Amino acid sequence: MKISCIQTNPGKDIVQNTQYAEEMLKRLKPSTHSAHVAVFPEVFAVMGGDDLRLNSANDLGDGLFKKLSQWAKEYNVYLVAGTHAEKTGRDDKVYNTATVFSSQGALVDVYRKVHLFNLKDSNGQPLYCESDVFEQGSDTSTFVIPSGDDKWHCMNIVCYDLRFPEIVRREISRSGAIDILFVTAAFTHQTGKDHWEVLLRARAIENQCFVVACNQTGFHSEGKKRNWGHSMVIDPWGTVVAQLQEDVGVLEAEIHKETLSSARARLPALQDRVFKS
């Protein structure tokens, strides 16, 4: 399977951001022998205040979600489409929703971010709280990507979810081993430099799966905030097989089912679990 992580640095202009995202998709060279999966970061279409989140929100099937479906079909990719604000029926809250589209444009997975990042100072006063504008999701899900004779069992998590390993283990207990864990993120520079790779490699090792992590990069919010970049692909043994630094661009990698079976045979940790609920 071919993986293309599109690492972006979006600002407040949703038109400009989505045009750039589509231009990156246009430049991808399609795979002729296996599935080709393109991945966007979390909230790739707009970065800014809560008002931008609310005003840019769409219902599933409309707006940007409809455009993402069209892109997947037009450019013949499975599109792990980062996240975008989804309407909840309330005026003050939206979901931070991750979607996946098949190469025929079908919506194959919807995941609404469960763990919301609420940062407070030493006095307990809020500094940045996602729960001010985002409604908490309530469940996880999985999806399958066919590639040649193989079928890949996949799962989406988003940014702050990465710090909670039980979210993946719970899903493994429900639906079986995960082959690819997609992590779409706007992971900050401050925490990313110390935690990003460590957490990603841990999730790959403990779940014996590939981790495909697509992160935002660069400064935003009038230069007041910065994301870490360093999108990467990690194999089930915990080895980083491909990585970007902090420039915008596309990270490409090939992954193979044989790598999964080899790692799981070499160390059958998933089979040896005692607590499975």
Give the up-direction half-sphere exposure of residue 3: CA atoms within 13 A in the CB hemisphere. 28
Query: Is 214 considered catalytic here?
Result: no
Query: Is 113 considered catalytic here?
Result: yes
Which one from 2, 87, 93, 113 is the annotated catalytic residue? Answer: 113
Query: Is 5 considered catalytic here?
Result: no
Which one from 154, 159, 209, 214 is the annotated catalytic residue? Answer: 159
- Chain center to CA of 178: 15
Q: How many Å from the N-terminal Cα to the C-terminal Cα in the chain?
A: 31
Which one from 5, 42, 86, 214 is the annotated catalytic residue? Answer: 42
Enzyme catalytic residues: 42, 113, 159
